[in-house]
Structure 1
């Protein structure tokens, strides 16, 4: 009995050590030193953490939060994954003419963007999982069609926040030599520096900051209603949304966000948008303040006076309890008769930004 107990303890210790070794780089780092001092100067940082403009209900932190996440992964869900591999189109991104203004949905909240002769990535996740452990959040079959090798060199990577389905360790490591700069909210640079990014490639910014990252290309760092944290520490890094602006185009990527007054304030700053990509998947009444449902995204699209709307945060990972295709069905219903166009491209399908007429199928219907 004693020998069996010792053996079990040795095995447990080995597994724990191996797990820590695997997780340590993936978890990233919290801000320290001068980076922490800059974080603490932000108007959004109060009582030791970043906070939303509209206060969110208190939620458990630390180990209680980690256990809640694990319980959520095993909670009953309504058709959480598609019955077959999703239909996709693998466009050769390296062959696209540099002068074409284009957005390509890469699944979930990841986008490849060409605008004003510049190339961007938004929340790039090329891994087959969106969690620190591979069994937790697996991508839908057929959706991991792109790797970093398929991406041309980019002028900037925009990171909305540090959750695993938006800031992916393996993807960012592989992109180190392919991007000129990474833009993220205050505090997120601690992760990037820990993963080998030099200081000159990290641009951290507070809300309502305007960054001129290349001639003719401006990135506006804007508010979102969400939270941050990769494990035990929450809200040590700032979450954000982005407006991408050139002389001809204006785009908006919400990242993860609840519906709130920040949309009105953003609309006051910009006359219109050519295209917006809005959080409208992975909604749940338990986190209604920090994620939008499709009807709220439709309302936000009207406030932002956009010509085109792309749904985001759906179609690759299942994080909520609703059916995998429900966000697309509800978005289509909510957008009927609205002043904007709902665009429903497959992963990898080109979306042109010049206003041309484009027809996209209801590709999520009838899969079996």
Structure 2
């Protein structure tokens, strides 16, 4: 056998082994396909896929998808990742007084909330990585301070969409026995059912559908984004949430570009006491599906928010900006606005009934 033929045989053997390993790897539960029932009537569903309303492209770049992905992985960005562990202040959630009205940011888009006698957990991700590829998209040092054992019983678990930085199987496995009710957009709940959550405890809805419970209404509200955990996109819906009680209204935008939907949400559901708004992972190449900090500040005005918290920043590198850029820019854009911009440390308790509570400009201390 010639040397070239041996090299070819060796390379083919490696490729076959890699293909087999990939097939086996993709059989894991985290790669299950969603099970989606098409909505009876919807202006954002056609031919088996959901779409934004109005229609917008995910990418506005002239580069191909693989070129963008390559640059995302290998292009150097100054201060994209912190040089030292980020500061935090871990709140003992088990020790909270049931009468306290508090919000705790756990980094990126994970929020624990307790108010008006109910507890909520939004988009929990406690894994060190948020990616289908092991060892990639690692959490910044110092940001992953919570795990499932730190979470008390949760009345409502809200999942906004199926991307890896919002829907994490290891985290959900640890939470399974603690959750009363799951609320998710169409198709997203099917992942949890396949992962062992009781079907009767999973509510799926379209935009402006509401889960009604004693003393609380939780609406799924529009966002401008996309879905998909591997190569197939938009088989499941994406959304934000509006939580309405007799005393309080809270908005969580989910991942979204800026659009008229914020004014529509305000018109339909009224002004909000607190708006948790996406602020991070923006880029000119996908400007339609993620907000800039200045757009997040405008969205806060659109929904007449009294107070604002930022989400989708300070834990994972998903875009070409400095890690501190989102908080710096939204703080500047919020100067002189009527709403109160709150910038807690990861894990720091935010007291909803204390309008005098102050926070550090902690991202500047680097």
What TM-score, normalized by structure 1, do the two folds share? Answer: 0.92
Match of 2:286 in 1: 287
Q: Which moved more, 1:192-201 or 1:44-53?
A: 192-201
Deviations 1:230-287 (A, max 9, x none): 1111011000010111111111100100000100111112332111111111100111
Match of 2:246 in 1: 247
User: Are 2:133 and 1:133 aligned?
Assistant: yes
User: Are 2:35 and 1:26 aligned?
Assistant: no
Q: Tell me if the contact between 1:276 and 1:306 (Cα under 8 Å) persists in the aligned partners.
A: yes
Q: Which moved more, 1:248-257 or 1:16-25?
A: 16-25
For residues 22 and 66 of structure 1, do their structure 2 counterparts lie closer, same or farther at Cα, with a shift above 3 Å needed? farther
Shift of 1:66: 6.4
Secondary structure of the corresponding residue to residue 121 of structure 1? strand
Secondary structure of the corresponding residue to residue 316 of structure 1? coil
Deviations 1:320-366 (A, max 9, x none): 10111011110111000000111000010011112431110011113
Secondary structure of the corresponding residue to residue 364 of structure 1? helix
Q: Tell me if the contact between 1:66 and 1:231 (Cα under 8 Å) persists in the aligned partners.
A: no
Shift of 1:9: 4.0
Match of 1:308 in 2: 307
Match of 1:109 in 2: 109
Q: Which moved more, 1:43-52 or 1:257-266?
A: 43-52
CA distance in 1, matches of 2:312, 2:244: 22
Deviations 1:213-238 (A, max 9, x none): x3212101110011101111101100
Match of 2:100 in 1: 100
User: Are 2:153 and 1:149 aligned?
Assistant: no
Q: Which moved more, 1:193-202 or 1:348-357?
A: 193-202
CA distance in 2, matches of 1:168, 1:281: 19
Unaligned runs of 5+ residues in structure 1 are none
For residues 115 and 65 of structure 1, do their structure 2 counterparts lie closer, same or farther at Cα, with a shift above 3 Å needed? farther
CA distance in 2, matches of 1:133, 1:39: 32
For residues 107 and 15 of structure 1, do their structure 2 counterparts lie closer, same or farther at Cα, with a shift above 3 Å needed? same
CA distance in 2, matches of 1:254, 1:68: 26
Shift of 1:194: 2.5
Shift of 1:303: 1.1
Shift of 1:49: 1.2
Secondary structure of the corresponding residue to residue 220 of structure 1? strand
CA RMSD of aligned residues (A): 1.9
CA distance in 2, matches of 1:233, 1:41: 23
CA distance in 1, matches of 2:98, 2:70: 44
Q: Tell me if the contact between 1:252 and 1:276 (Cα under 8 Å) persists in the aligned partners.
A: yes
User: Are 2:189 and 1:189 aligned?
Assistant: yes
Secondary structure of the corresponding residue to residue 94 of structure 1? helix
Q: Tell me if the contact between 1:274 and 1:353 (Cα under 8 Å) persists in the aligned partners.
A: no
User: Are 2:344 and 1:341 aligned?
Assistant: no
CA distance in 1, matches of 2:175, 2:23: 24
Secondary structure of the corresponding residue to residue 177 of structure 1? helix
Q: Tell me if the contact between 1:56 and 1:289 (Cα under 8 Å) persists in the aligned partners.
A: yes
Deviations 1:80-135 (A, max 9, x none): 11110000011111111111111100000110011221111101000011111132
Match of 2:328 in 1: 329
Match of 2:268 in 1: 269
Shift of 1:136: 2.1
Match of 1:45 in 2: 45
Q: Tell me if the contact between 1:66 and 1:232 (Cα under 8 Å) persists in the aligned partners.
A: no
Q: Tell me if the contact between 1:224 and 1:239 (Cα under 8 Å) persists in the aligned partners.
A: yes
Match of 1:170 in 2: 170
CA distance in 2, matches of 1:136, 1:207: 32
Match of 1:199 in 2: 199
Deviations 1:39-78 (A, max 9, x none): 4643320233111112112659xxx746743542222322
Unaligned runs of 5+ residues in structure 2 are none
What TM-score, normalized by structure 2, do the two folds share? Answer: 0.93
